[in-house]
Amino acid sequence: MTNRQYEKPPPFDPEVATVLDVVAAHPATQDVFRGYDAAAGCCLLCQGLFETVGGLAARFGLDRDALVHDLTMAINKENP
């Protein structure tokens, strides 16, 4: 797991926000989750929609910090 530094905190709490919460509020994040499907070995939007983002990363062995970073980047591009 990498320790990424953020200029400001992510726009959601990964331990509280579910995948559904993030995707519903920020449709651009769908592509980020799809980008992690291969690493997870499944469709994350199908298998983890009701997981918290942090729980999803733990369940599927994903780099939580990288996922949060990528989601944050997608949200920031969506809302410049």
* Calpha distance 40→59 (Å, rounded): 9
Where do the structural domains in the chain lie, given as residue ranges?
Answer: 19-78
Element spanning 28, H or E: none
Instruction: Write the pLDDT tens digit of every residue in 19-40.
Output: 999 999 999 999 999 999 999 9
Q: What is the value of pTM for the model shown?
A: 0.88
* Calpha distance 26→18 (Å, rounded): 12
Question: Is pLDDT above 80 for 7?
Answer: no
